[in-house]
Structure 1
Amino acid sequence: MTGDGRPAAGSRTAPRTRAVAAGAAVLTVLAGLAVRACTDGDFAKYAGDALYAVLICALAAVIAPGARPAVTAGAGLAFSWVVELLQLTGVPAELSRHSAVARLVLGSTFNAPDLFWYAVGAGFAWAVTALAASASRRDKAR
């Protein structure tokens, strides 16, 4: 355990943190599928953008279970923004024409409001992770 309550990368709590983050990733995918199945229009699109960023943040926590919530949220936001900005090049659109997976991961068309919704998703992921870490530290202090 690090001094601020985060699990050290090699600690026994790292597998638990990874498992929780992986579970959060699965729940995020299910939430995204539910939003797409039950809604449409702008709500579905922008909720999907926010959930994409949440998913990337959860995957960052799987990869680096000892990272601070701000670091995993920042990594998720940065990745999401890079993918969105990459769409300005046309490369994702070309890859998306040939692969459904590329379309899901990279999208195809740049849309400036997506940048905001990625920030909303990363902010949400940060808040949930920070609250969970704070609760964990309080429980351990008892």
Structure 2
Amino acid sequence: MSLAVRWIRLSMAVSAAGFAGAAFAFRATMDGPIEQYSGAALSAAIVYTIVIFIWPRISPWSAGSAAIAYCWFIEFAQLTPIPEAISQRSWFARQLLGAQFDPVDVAWYPVGVIPLVAAHWFLRDRTRSRTSPTPAAP
């Protein structure tokens, strides 16, 4: 495994922990829409970091699409009784699956992912421009 891949994975683990900490801090200190909306956006950001952790060389667009699709899949699965039944047995499962469908969350997942896609794109292009050879003068 290359040093770059190790660095990316370490960065994603730290980022996921930071997003989780922020989500729990909002939940502990706030109530109402800010807590709800930030929770949805930050959980989507965590999923984005997990996608990058698993596939460090994935494109920003693909990672963002995968993260949003996964979040939407979990959210729409909440229209069935399965996530709620599993969530009643485990706090951890409740954090991962939720318990009930909320259409507002569907809109907030991209809010958590789009800034990360933009940052990923910027950093990837910046890194590529530093490592690519400069063209020879004619």
TM-score (norm: length of structure 1): 0.87
CA RMSD of aligned residues (A): 1.5
Counterpart mapping for 1:17-96 below 5 A: 17-96=8-87
Distance in 2 (CA, whole Å) between partners of 1:129 and 1:24 is 13
1:16 corresponding residue in structure 2 = 7
Post-superposition shift, 1:32?
A: 0.9
Residue equivalent to 1:4:
none
Aligned residue pairs: how many?
133
Match for residue 7 of structure 1? none
C-alpha distance in 1 between matches for 2:127 and 2:26: 30
SS at structure 2 position matched to 1:89: coil
Divergent runs of 4+, >3 A: none
CA distance in 2, matches of 1:98, 1:58: 27
Q: Secondary structure at the match of 2:88?
A: helix
Rg comparison, structure with higher value: 2
Provide the rounded CA distance (Å) in 2 between the counterparts of 1:49 and 1:23.
19
Q: Which amino acid aligns with 1:124?
A: P
- The answer for the alignment partner of 1:140 in structure 2 is 131
Distance 2:83 2:50 in 1: 21
Contact 1:54 1:124 in 2 (8 A): no
Distance 2:98 2:76 in 1: 11
Deviations 1:37-78 (A, max 9, x none): 222100110110000000000000000001011111111101
Instruction: State the alpha-carbon separation in 1 of the partners of residues 21 and 118 from structure 2.
Output: 20
